[in-house]
Amino acid sequence: MKNLILEGFMGCGKSRIAKALGDDTGMKVIDTDELIEKEQKRAISGIFASDGEEAFRDMETALLRKLQNDTKNCIISLGGGMPVREENRRILKDLGTVVYLKADREVLIGRLERGVEKRPMLSGHDLEKRVEELLAARQDLYADAADIIIDIGEDDPDTISLRIRKELGL
Ligand code: S3P
């Protein structure tokens, strides 16, 4: 069984949907943000504050290369910026089936209003403008990396898990 990879903008529910998929399929769930925090022994906001965004992006690429070598049969939830680097998109194609969890701007903004301080790409910015700007820059890249696109609408994680499994015949 190939890995099942979840990508999408911050706030689209990747972690919760990964958990629902894990419960429904029995596959192990891994989360790239959690793995980086564990390895670095610090929060992502701390990594951005002391080392900067590029250093974090290098950690993401290094982690993807490692997963490409040693990970099978897992559900992998990606940090929202992972597909931005071309090299990462190339690795993702080899790593497994990529599901883009596509969400409307309004849904994302509503969900992101809480917890901005944990998200260094958003903190210190006007939330609406920043989400629009990042979405505009990323939407095509998410689609380019994806094998399937799921419009999440207002569905809950269990429903989305079911929709993904149906679409992929799992
Ligand atoms: C980021 C998304 C975050 C985390 C980091 C950068 C981004 O993950 O990787 O703060 O650039 O979109 P979530 O999508 O899980 O919030």
pLDDT of residue 39 exceeding 90? yes
Provide the greatest CA pair distance for the chain: 44
Residues 6+ apart with CB under 8 A from 45: 117, 118, 119, 120, 123
Q: In terms of C-beta density within 10 A (0-12 exposed, 13-18 middle, 19 or more buried), how is residue 15 classed?
A: middle
- Calculate how far, in angstroms, residue 170's C-alpha sits from the geometric centre of ligand 1: 27
pLDDT of residue 55 exceeding 80? yes
CA-derived radius of gyration, the chain: 15
pLDDT category, 108, cuts 50, 70, 90? very high
Distance CA 77, CA 61 (A): 14
What's the DSSP call for residue 122? T
pLDDT at 81: 98
Nearest CA to ligand 1 atom 11: 81
Distance CA 44, CA 50 (A): 10
What's the DSSP call for residue 12? S
User: Which domains, and CATH codes, for the chain?
Assistant: 3-164 (3.40.50.300)
With the most atoms of ligand 1 within 8 angstroms of its CB, the residue from 113, 121, 134, 142 to mutate is 121
Q: Which residue has the tokens 């974090």?
A: 56
Computed from CA positions of residues 153, 79, 84, 94, in that sequence, does the dihedral angle turn out positive or negative?
Answer: negative
> How large a percentage of the chain has pLDDT more than 90?
95
Is there an atom of ligand 1 within 6 Å of 10 CB? yes
Is there an atom of ligand 1 within 6 Å of 8 CB? no
pLDDT category, 25, cuts 50, 70, 90? very high
pLDDT at 157: 98
Nearest CA to ligand 1 atom 9: 79
* DSSP letter string, 53-107: HHHHHHHHHHHHHHHHHH--SEEEEPPTTGGGSHHHHHHHHHHEEEEEEE--HHH
pTM of the entire structure?
Answer: 0.97
- Calculate how far, in angstroms, residue 81's C-alpha sits from the geometric centre of ligand 1: 6
Number of C-alpha atoms within 13 angstroms, CB side, residue 85?
Answer: 18
- Predicted confidence (pLDDT) per residue in 114-153, tens digit: 888 889 999 999 999 999 999 999 999 999 999 999 999 9
